[in-house]
Amino acid sequence: MSAETWTRLTVQLAARCVLNPRLALDLCSMLWAFRARDWYRRIPLLPLPPREYLRWRMYTAYGDEAAVPPVDDVIRFARWRREVMRL
């Protein structure tokens, strides 16, 4: 997984969140749900998903474990998750 493309995705999502605060809540909720359960025990002490989990998700969604999802796919999934889970 290329850090540059994940960084670009993060910046693009952050820019969209500035324009749409509801999206920010959806993305934060999704990130919290996917966090590593013992995130507070590992550097960088951020509630991020395990790398293996992200690789598996990218492989099942895009057929390539090194894929980086398009911004619109992430946004659609976050909104779908909110609607289905009634968050």
DSSP code for 41? G
Tell if the pTM clears 0.75, that is, is over it.
Answer: yes
Tell me the C-alpha to C-alpha distance, in Å, between residue 39 and each of 16, 29, 55: 26, 16, 18
pLDDT for 1 equals 55
End-to-end CA distance of the chain: 30
Question: From the first residue on, what is the mean pLDDT of each consecutive set of 10 residues in the chain (87 residues)?
Answer: 81 96 95 93 91 95 95 96 88
Alpha carbon distance 26, 3 (integer Å): 23
User: Rounded distance, CA 68 to CA 48, Å?
Assistant: 16
- For residue 31, CA distances in Å to 25, 35, 37, 50 come to 10, 6, 12, 11
In the prediction, which pLDDT does 27 show?
Answer: 96
